[in-house]
Amino acid sequence: MNKTDKAASGWTNGFLGMLIFSGSLPATRLAIAGFDPLFLTVARACIAGALGLALLLVFREKRPERHDLIPLAVVASGVVIGFPLLTALALKHITAAHSVVFVAVLPLTTAIFGVVRGGERPRPAFWLFSGLGAALVAGFALMQGQGASSIGDGLMIGAVIVCGLGYAEGARLSRKLGGWQVISWALVMSLPVMIPAALATLPVSWAGISESAWWGLAYVSLFSMLIGFVFWYRGLAQGGIAAVGQLQLLQPFFGLLLAATLLHEPVGWSMVAVATAVVLCVVGAKRFARPVALVAAR
């Protein structure tokens, strides 16, 4: 695969991953209506971890080397534990429509951690476009006003920081281990902690848990925790952490559409206008994402 085809494949895989992740917060909102946030976090990790372990065994994947264990632990801390738990807690205080706009900060946190951990150096114009895109979404969030909560907002800010680190670290490892292998190994590493935690936080009674809450648990366990990462990490590894990471600027608006459809939360016309502007920022960021100098050989 030449560089052009590789970059195109990276953006395609990244888009599919972003599209899957767009449903995470609305699905989490559905799930916490029937499940405690802590149980939801550990249960989704256990389900996805069992599937990840099965995949690793079926395809007889080679175990990670010793020096890969700490980076995998970072991935697990960020995307298996940190982001799911913090967002579930945040959604106790804010609406899904309000929460999804915070993921617009993810391209910046992912890019920053990509610079620190991945050695990428995008052009200055890249930062201009990505910063402008994030500012547009932040302004959109402030204009909404509904569902705001300082506790919920603070939890979402923490969530996007730890998730950005997990994305960047996972993308760096994907170049060596493969995309689905990284998230699978991270999930498997978390099982010794998650299984006892799941047993300790089991609901006292399963009666009264709505069908929509079960569907929410199924989505975040299968798609948000595993399938989405197969596409996302592959996309970041192929197209570049900072470049493909800008697709996350589109995620809030797909999430808002799902929130309106699934949760019947109102979405105004301003969403379309801001979404269009954000798309232009993604296009601009993509154009200037190529590093000025070659990344040092690893």
Structure confidence by residue, pLDDT tens digits, 192-205: 999 999 999 999 99
CA–CA gap between residue 285 and residue 245 (Å, rounded): 10
Residue 281 sits at φ, ψ, to 5 deg, of: -65, -40
pLDDT tens digit sequence for 29-61? 999 999 999 999 999 999 999 999 999 999 999
pLDDT tens digit sequence for 234-254? 888 888 887 888 888 888 889
Asked if pLDDT for residue 296 goes beyond 50, the answer is no
Global pTM value: 0.86
CA–CA gap between residue 86 and residue 107 (Å, rounded): 18
Percent of the chain's residues with pLDDT above 70: 92
CB burial of residue 219 (10 Å; 0-12, 13-18, 19+) = buried
CA–CA gap between residue 149 and residue 297 (Å, rounded): 45
Neighbouring residues of 215: CB distance < 8 A, sequence distance ≥ 6 = 27, 30
Give the SS3 label for residue 93: coil
